[in-house]
Structure 1
Amino acid sequence: MEFLNNPRLTYSPIENRPDFTWPEGKRLAVYVALCVEHFSYGSGLGLAYSPGLQHPNSYNWGWREYGNRVGGFRLARLFDEYDLPLAILLNTACYDHCPELLEQFRRRGDEFIAHGHTNSEHPNGMDEKEEAAAIDRVARLIEQHEGQAPKGWMSPGAHPSANTEDLLKERGFDYTLDWPIDDQPAWLKTAHGPLMSVPYPHEVNDIPMIALHDGTASAFADMAIDNLEEMLDQSRDQSLVYGITIHTFLVGQPFRLRQFRRVLDKLKEHSDRIWFTTPGQIHDHYAALSANRKV
């Protein structure tokens, strides 16, 4: 077998990087990404809550649809209560399907991040022309509805193709969340110049923890709190990014939301040491630091 190196990434040990701080001298940037998704009924990809059943699978589809009808509204209200921002990872199919839910996040001023048109299809497997058209469609819809083009991208299923980063940079995207590689931003090489990889959580993420590993609501909250407290200690020496990813149909369930309040309580307890932010703001601050400009 031929051994292949990753063509987009230069290895960089975290101990050897220039020091920097976030705004107001903070050392830990924290963002919460909320995935707002819509799935095709009777076809396409998606988590199999009832595996082995053929389409149409109303139980599987309905599991995710709960987030658009109920869970997303509960989470918007929760983050209002705690006065914390959200990063909305948006399937643009939601513009037609559940515009009332998106209005909740627009009202709050949350950042809308392109997350494909639907999680029923992934870019990996599309040819380059088809993927380019799909990215253009998503960017156009977000700009049409939000008044500005999205700065960031997260592939449906976190499954980019070999062309995704080139296509994103060519179309003016500033960053991607597809690479869970680091606790600080990193620069990816593309055919059109560097594209920032903003740290994204694969572990502190309700899909792997709850849907794939059968973790309980309390265990997910414990994980998020333990990660926070450890990163607060680590950030005394190095400024870091801590992302938490949740989905409307998972943490939006009442019993999980009840446990997730413990996470938000702990975040607010340490608010004097945390920069509560979004991936777009992380990109802007880090890109402006001369010591951390494009590698």
Structure 2
Amino acid sequence: MKEGAADPEIYEFNPYRNRPKITWPDGKTCAVWVAPNLEYYEIDPPLHPQRKAWAKPHPDVVGYAHRDHSNRVSHWRMAEVMSKYGFAGSVSLSVALCQHHPEVVADGVARGWEFFSHGIYNTRYCYDMDEAQERAIIEDSIKTVEEATGQKIRGWLAPALTHTPRTLDLIAEYGLDYTCDLYHDDQIQRVITKSGNLVSIPYSLEVNDHYGFFVYNMSPREYADTLIRQYERLASEGEASGTVMCIPLHAYLIGQPHRIGPFEEALRYIANDGRAWIARAGDIVDAYKGQIK
């Protein structure tokens, strides 16, 4: 960022109306992708001066065990519902999961899911990291995910949504071509970086199940209704130019027995509507780049 600049110069200002028209395959109006966060939390992580990993003193057995429900039980419940309605996940992966619980990662691979990096652990933060430390995380992510899945990661969601001023430049330098860390738009947009060809794909805090249940205190039925209302608006606006809807999930939340039923109904609604292009993040990025130069 230039000293005294009016904005951070991460992306150009691009008003929603009068943009170049985006089209999705088969005349679909809204590209819908599901982003399961497959995460690993340490029960007793190293302390960070700017942020506590757990609200309670370490080791936080309750916090750890609650989230471990994802990898023991609720991943399978969530994934089976997604597969039932043709939603292939684009996984925001704590890459340490490849070593801790490889069975979960292998299940995603078998389902044809795409993987991108969410850092190593979701209890390690990027605040105050120097460049060498941040490069090490990116390099570890690329190597570990490729060894575990056969895929070279294309995308990035910063661990626990923590960044440094150089994060976007570094992931572009390493050849990644999309970031989920900008929540500023309902269409794919270019990102300004020193090198590479980075775009931002719409991720969401507003319809993220973490925000829905922990911040907005929604019931399962209210959350499912929110997904449908989000989809309906974006599918309608997408008739003019294709929009993108992301459904970010955490299995230990959405995969609980009392929540999975309404969520399944929302996926059924979207899948049966006829306007949704149900795709993976990389497929959506490729379609965008194929028409917007």
Give the structure-1-normalised TM-score: 0.93
Matched residue, 2:10: 8
**Distance between the aligned counterparts of 2:195 and 2:86, measured in 1?**
38
2:175 and 2:196 in contact (8 A); partners too: no
Q: Deviations over 1:143-187 (max 9, x none)?
A: 111223101111112222211111101111011100011111111
Partner of 1:29: 31
Aligned-pair CA distance for 1:231 = 1.5
Q: 1:232 to 1:47 in 2, by over 3 A?
A: farther
For residues 228-269 of structure 1, what are the alpha-carbon distances to aligned partners after superposition, in whole Å with 9 as ceiling and x for unaligned? 112222122221001111101110111111120111121122
Listed as ranges, the matches of 1:178-257 within 5 Å are 178-257=181-260
> Which of 133, 137, 143 is the equivalent residue of 2:136?
133
User: Deviation per CA, 1:88-133, whole angstroms, max 9, x where unpaired?
Assistant: 1111111111111111111011101111111111223211111011
3-state SS of the aligned residue for 1:78?
Answer: helix
Change in 2 beyond 3 A, CA 1:67/1:29: same
Stretches of structure 2 lacking an aligned partner (at least 5 in a row): none
Give the counterpart letter for 2:32 in structure 1: V
- Normalised by the length of structure 2, the TM-score is 0.93
- The structure-2 alpha-carbon separation of the partners of 1:46 and 1:199, relative to structure 1 and needing over 3 Å to count, comes to farther
Change (3 A) 1:213 1:3: farther
1:158 and 2:179 matched: no
User: Secondary structure at 1:15's aligned position in 2?
Assistant: coil
Q: Across the two proteins, how many residue pairs are aligned to each other?
A: 287
* Partner SS for 2:146: helix
Contact 2:86 2:271 in 1 (8 A): no
Distance 1:207 1:46 in 2: 18
Give the CA deviation at 1:70.
Answer: 0.5
* Residue from 169, 172, 188 that aligns with 2:172: 169
Whichever residue aligns with residue 74 of structure 2, its letter is G
Give the deviation of 1:4 after TM superposition: 4.6
Unaligned runs of 5+ in 1: none
Report the counterpart of residue 264 of structure 2 in structure 1: 261
Percent of paired sites with the same residue: 31
